[in-house]
Amino acid sequence: MIYRLLAINIDGTLLRPNGRLQKGTKEAIDFVREKGVYVTLFTNRNFQSAQKIARALKLGSILITHSGAFISSSLDEPLIQKRISEEKTFNLVQVLEHFDCNIRICHERFSLGNRRSLASNLIAKTVLSSADPVFYPVQFVESLGDTLRDQPVAAPKIDVFFSSRQDKEQALATLAEAFEDIHIIEYEGEQIEILPANVSKLRGLQQLGSHLGIEPREMVAIGDSMDDLEVIENVGLGVAMGNAPVALKKAADWVTRSNNEHGVTYMIKEHFRKQFPLNFLKAHIKVKKW
């Protein structure tokens, strides 16, 4: 199979546990790009945070960010942008504020969160992430509902971190009953992610593929967490990191090393070293579609 696109998740995949790029990663990505393979990042991070990583790799590609809600190579001219309406964002926040949780509205240009202090320091660190670039404003307010009433926001994504499993389960039940046309991703622990309907990493990758004329079977995707499962199962070659959960490894076509052991670099060199450059293949091999 000839692969024409490589999609790489960021946290837990491209980055080491300390949040840094591993030595040799850029060279490996340059290697596969020189073969004519399109390289993109797919992530639940905001666009500006993902673009910061892409620039470090000298990638000018269209990026799949906000879990597929914002797909673009620049902040001002997105290929795809999906939002929860201002009214629905406000109503969601009104419901969520009845539970003990931190809420973070992740717009492509800024983040807006409530000040509620949860017991877990880990949750607090997750809400205010060091991954946010300095030019991505992060504001905390006493009441998100009051703020949105005066300054409405249509959110591409809403992150919620609950103080307990019980609060999370009760909130999920309430949201399922009260709202239609939203997509909720449940993470391990007490985190959920609320997206517009029909938005996902896989859908974003499919939309990018359609734009580029690349079919899912011509794609390679590398991920590390269960929210990457749908992507891993539906591309030509789904790769799980060595640090991925067992369920993701079982679903993958191949398992590489961990993100602390050059997993992305190892996978690229193993799977793409024998693939001829696409320009060479176009010139010497008859194919139905390029």
pLDDT digits (tens, 9 = 90+) for 218-247: 999 999 999 999 999 999 999 999 999 999
Which residue is listed with tokens 């029909």?
Answer: 198
What's the pLDDT score for residue 131?
Answer: 53
Paired residues of 229 in beta bridges: none
Q: Are 199 and 69 spatial neighbours (Cβ–Cβ below 8 Å)?
A: yes
The per-residue pLDDT for range 105-132, each reduced to its tens digit, is 999 999 999 976 555 444 444 444 445 5
Q: Which residues of 17-31 are buried (b: 16+ CB within 10 A; e: fewer)?
A: eeeeebeebeebbeb
Q: Are 285 and 276 spatial neighbours (Cβ–Cβ below 8 Å)?
A: no
**Burial class (CB within 10 angstroms; exposed 0-12, middle 13-18, buried 19+) of 238:** buried
Q: Are 238 and 232 spatial neighbours (Cβ–Cβ below 8 Å)?
A: yes
What's the pLDDT score for residue 125?
Answer: 41
Cα→Cα distances 143→28, 79, 98, 154, 256, Å: 46, 33, 11, 17, 45
CB neighbours of residue 154 within 10 Å: 17
Q: Are 127 and 152 spatial neighbours (Cβ–Cβ below 8 Å)?
A: no
Distance (Å, whole) CA 61 – CA 38: 8
Q: Are 207 and 80 spatial neighbours (Cβ–Cβ below 8 Å)?
A: yes
* Range list of H helices, 196-244: 201-212, 229-234
What's the pLDDT score for residue 254?
Answer: 95
What's the pLDDT score for residue 32?
Answer: 94
Q: Are 57 and 264 spatial neighbours (Cβ–Cβ below 8 Å)?
A: no
Distance (Å, whole) CA 50 – CA 53: 5
Regions of the chain short of the pLDDT cut 50: 120-130, 280, 288-290
What is the residue type of 138?
Answer: V
Q: Are 234 and 215 spatial neighbours (Cβ–Cβ below 8 Å)?
A: no
Cα→Cα distances 118→4, 157, 187, Å: 45, 21, 18
What's the pLDDT score for residue 138?
Answer: 87
| Strand pairing report for 191-196 and 157-162 | antiparallel
DSSP sequence for 79-145: SEE--B-HHHHHHHHHHHTTSSEEEEEE-SS-EEEE-PPPS-HHHHHHHS-TTS-TTS-EEEES-HH
Distance (Å, whole) CA 272 – CA 282: 17
